[in-house]
Amino acid sequence: MNALTAIRRPEAALEAAAFVADPEAAAAVRAALSDRYGADVQVVAGASGHALDWLAETPTPGLLVVDLSDCEVPLERLERLAEHCAPGTRVIALGLWNDIALYRRMIALGVDDYLTLPLGAAEFRAALDRLSTSTEEAGTAAGDGSHGRRAVVIGVRGGVGATTVALGLAWAQARGNDRESSALLDLDLSYGDAALLLDREPAFGLAAALAAPDRIDSLLVSRAGLKIDERLTIYGGPEGAPGQPAVAPEALSALLGQIGEGHGTTVIDLPRWMTGLFAPVVADAVRVFLVAQPTLGCMRDAIRLREMISGLSSAPVDLVLNRVRRGGEKELEPAMMAKAFGARPLAVFPEDARLAVRASAKARPMVALSGRRSPHARGFGALCAALTGAGAARRSD
C-alpha cells in the first residue's frame, strides 16, 4: 500500500507543507507552522521521497519544508523537487550535513534556508521569522519609490514569439508571488497583440500620453490599464489607425515609474526596431531576455542586440529559445546557439502546436495550461527565478 494513501491531498494550494522524518523535529515544525498559518498546513512523517510523490499530484504549497536526510545526494534531490514547485515557492531544507559549501550550493539552487538536524522549536521559529522578514523587504522594495522590478523582453526577429514569452512571464510571476501583482507593457502601439492573446481589446489613452510627459499621472495610468484579474494588468497595444505614434523617452520613463508604483513587477514587451527607446527602457531593468529561435539569423541578431544593450545597462542579458522544433530544417542545436552566444539559454520552449491551439481557444497563456513538470512550466520558473533573484537562475534545458 502506498504510504501516502492516507495523506490529505488538497485541491487548493496549502499555505505550508512539511515532510519531516524525525518525530521531535516534526513536532517542532508542526507547532511553529500552526501558530503562523493556522489550520492551512500539513506535516507529514516522511522525508524528501514522500515530498516528491506528494508534489507530483498536489498543488505546490506557499512554503515547503523538506527533510533531505533520506538521500545521499541532496542537491540532486532538490533539483528534482524544483521540477514540481511553482515559481515563488519558498523552501526550507532540513538535513544532517553541517557543511557551509553545501549550504551555499543549496541557496544557489533557490532554497531559502537550510537547518541541520536535530531541530528545536526555537530554531525553526527563527527561520520562519527570517523568511517573513525577507518577503516583507522584497514587497517593500517593489512598492516604494524604486518602482518595482522591471524585465525587458525583446524578440531578436519577427515571429519568434516574444509577446507570448512576455505574457507568460508576467502571468507566471504574478501567480508565483501572492504579495504583489504584475504588469505587462506592450510597446508595439500599432500591431501589439498581448491583449489579443487573451481575447481582450486593449485599453485606450496610452498612445496620446506617451507623446506628452506632462499628461502622465496615476489617474491616466489606471484608466489606460486593461485589468485581466487582481494579479495582472496589461498596458499598451494598438490604438486607432496603424502607425507607431511618437513616443517621447521622458514620457516613457514617467510611465514606467507610474506603472511600477502600482505593481511589483513590470514586464516590458519591447519591439527590436524601437532602438531609440532602448536606453530609457533597459536603464533600470533587472533582467533583459532576448527571445530567439535556433537559427543562424537569430543567433547573429541576438549577439548584436546583446552588445547594444550591454552599452546601455548593467542588467544581465539572457537568451531564451522559443518555438524550438527538434531536428527542424535549418535549425541549430541549442548547444551551438549557446556556444555562439557565450552562455546557455536560460529557457528553451519547444514548438507545441496543440498547446498553442488550446491556449488560443481558452484565451489563456500557454504556461497556464501546461503541466507542472512541462518544459513551459520549467522554463518560466527559470525566468521568474532569474527575475526575482531567488537563488541562482535554474536553467530549464
Q: What is the per-residue pLDDT across 339-377, written as a single tens digit (0 to 9) for each? A: 899 989 999 999 999 999 999 999 999 998 887 778 998
pLDDT higher than 90, residue 297? yes
Residue 168 within a domain: yes
290 Cα distance to chain centroid? 15
- Say yes or no: 126 and 153 in one domain: no
- Say yes or no: 86 and 154 in one domain: no
Look up cell 506557499; give the residue.
Answer: 62
Binning pLDDT at 50, 70 and 90, where does residue 88 land? low
Give the predicted TM-score (pTM) of the model.
0.65
CATH number of the CATH domain containing 373: 3.40.50.300
Write the pLDDT tens digit of every residue in 198-243.
Answer: 999 888 878 877 877 777 888 788 888 999 988 899 998 887 656 6
pLDDT higher than 50, residue 391? no
CA 246, CA 29: separation in Å to the nearest integer?
Answer: 58
For residues 263, 165, 393, 9, the Cα torsion angle rounded to the nearest 10 degrees is 80
Q: What is the pLDDT of residue 329?
A: 60
Q: What is the pLDDT of residue 137?
A: 46
CATH number of the CATH domain containing 29: 3.40.50.2300
Task: Provide the mean pLDDT of the chain.
Answer: 83
The reply to whether omega before 294 is within 30° of 0 (cis) is no
- Say yes or no: 156 and 121 in one domain: no
| Tally of CB atoms within 10 A around 312 | 15
- Say yes or no: 200 and 336 in one domain: yes
Residue 2 within a domain: no
Q: What is the pLDDT of residue 332?
A: 86
pLDDT higher than 50, residue 145? no
Binning pLDDT at 50, 70 and 90, where does residue 293 land? very high
- Say yes or no: 97 and 211 in one domain: no
pLDDT higher than 90, residue 72? no
Q: What is the pLDDT of residue 270?
A: 95
Q: What percent of the chain has pLDDT over 90?
A: 36
Write the pLDDT tens digit of every residue in 44-54.
Answer: 888 888 888 88
List residues bridging with 153 in a β-sheet.
Answer: 269, 289
- Say yes or no: 279 and 327 in one domain: yes
| Residue span of the structural domain in which 106 resides | 16-140
- Say yes or no: 113 and 174 in one domain: no
| pLDDT, mean of residues 36-58 | 83
CA 35, CA 124: separation in Å to the nearest integer?
Answer: 12
- Say yes or no: 299 and 327 in one domain: yes
Domain count, the chain: 2
Residue type, 106: M
Cell of 31: 507547532
CA 388, CA 376: separation in Å to the nearest integer?
Answer: 18
